[in-house]
């Protein structure tokens, strides 16, 4: 089983987990990441400021990004 880490970035804040999570495959890791992100989405979107970005990444054992989910708030005027 491969080990992965989660990292969340929100404006000036960025933090990665110190403890790895093991998943059987990349597909299983992706499924868990989307589940966790979905659980956070309501509170994240309520607190998102204009022209800002929130993202969650799944990192491999070397802490290099494998997947990233981004939520971007843009002003278009």
Distance separating alpha carbons of residues 53 and 32, to the nearest angstrom: 21
> 2-6, 19-23, 24-28, 39-43 — which is least confidently predicted?
39-43
> Taking Cα atoms as reference points, which of 31, 21, 32 lies closest to residue 61?
21
Distance separating alpha carbons of residues 38 and 40, to the nearest angstrom: 5
Distance separating alpha carbons of residues 26 and 17, to the nearest angstrom: 18
More confident residue, 11 or 22: 22
Total number of domains in the chain: 1
More confident residue, 41 or 56: 56
* Residue 27, beta-bridge partner list: none
- Per-residue pLDDT, 47: 84
- Per-residue pLDDT, 58: 95
User: If you average pLDDT over every residue of the chain, what do you get?
Assistant: 90
pTM (2 d.p.)? 0.81
- Per-residue pLDDT, 30: 96
């Amino acid at each position: 089983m491969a080990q992965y880490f989660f990292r969340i970035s929100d404006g000036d804040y960025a933090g990665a987990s110190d403890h790895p999570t093991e998943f059987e495959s990349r597909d299983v890791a992706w499924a868990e990441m989307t589940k966790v992100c979905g659980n956070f989405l309501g509170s994240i979107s309520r607190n998102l400021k204009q022209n800002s970005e929130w993202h969650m990444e799944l990192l491999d054992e070397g802490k290099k990004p494998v997947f990233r989910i981004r939520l971007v708030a843009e002003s278009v005027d």
